[in-house]
């Protein structure tokens, strides 16, 4: 983990993502709502690697690490959020989700409560609650993804999901300084700090 943390030095996007990984357990302590960052930018700029490293704080030693995909339904997003309560929820590649799912998720994931659903006998199913900090990736911003589905972005969605460009200002994607290591970054991200 020490070698991995050395890579964070001078890499603001990596520092942000790893710091965000520790935000989930603090939400209940400070009485805050969940929050979300959407790290966006062109392909092969380091977005998925950065969130993979952030997820390593909580474990996830398989191929996807601690990441989930945006390629799901609104119900699937709720399920993922429940499974990551008080930790970090990583949703990779917003462009894979239908714009309607993204629009709904921007409200529902941060709100922290599932929809009220009915049962076949007319009774209501119990709702579920969660708290999680969310890291999202995508090639475009939340607003642009909603526009692709002819959905008007609302202020409530935009304040719940903050877009952060992967370009850290040096024309090198996520990195302001060259990451010099002989070990691939994902291999370094194999020890967890959380439970």
Sketch the domain layout of the chain as residue ranges.
2-114+128-187
Residue-by-residue pLDDT tens, the chain, 195 positions = 676 677 777 788 989 999 999 999 999 999 998 999 999 999 888 898 889 888 888 876 666 678 999 999 988 999 999 999 999 999 999 999 999 999 999 988 988 888 777 888 888 888 889 999 999 999 999 999 999 999 999 998 899 999 999 987 766 565 554 454 434 555 555 554 555
| Predicted structure pTM score | 0.84
pLDDT at 44: 83
CATH match for 2-114+128-187 among 3.40.50, 1.10.10, 3.30.70, 1.10.8: 3.40.50
Measured between alpha carbons, how far is residue 26 from residues 86, 145, 149 in Å?
8, 30, 34
């Amino acid at each position: 983990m020490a070698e991995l943390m050395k890579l964070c030095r001078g890499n603001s996007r990596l520092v942000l993502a790893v710091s965000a990984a520790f935000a989930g357990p603090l939400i209940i302590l400070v009485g805050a709502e969940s929050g979300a960052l959407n790290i966006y930018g062109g392909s092969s700029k380091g977005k998925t690697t950065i969130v993979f490293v952030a997820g390593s704080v909580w474990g996830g030693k398989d191929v996807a690490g601690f990441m989930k995909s945006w390629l799901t339904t609104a119900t699937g997003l709720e399920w993922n959020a429940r499974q990551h309560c008080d930790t970090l929820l990583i949703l990779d590649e917003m462009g894979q989700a239908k714009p309607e799912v993204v629009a709904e998720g921007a409200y529902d994931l941060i709100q922290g409560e599932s929809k009220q659903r009915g049962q076949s006998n007319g009774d209501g199913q119990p709702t579920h609650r969660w708290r999680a900090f969310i890291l999202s990736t995508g090639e475009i911003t939340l607003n642009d993804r909603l526009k692709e589905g002819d959905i008007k972005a609302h202020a409530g969605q935009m304040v719940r999901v903050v877009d952060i460009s992967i370009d850290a200002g040096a024309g090198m994607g996520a990195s302001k300084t060259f990451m010099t290591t002989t070990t691939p970054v994902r291999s370094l991200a194999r020890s967890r700090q959380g439970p």
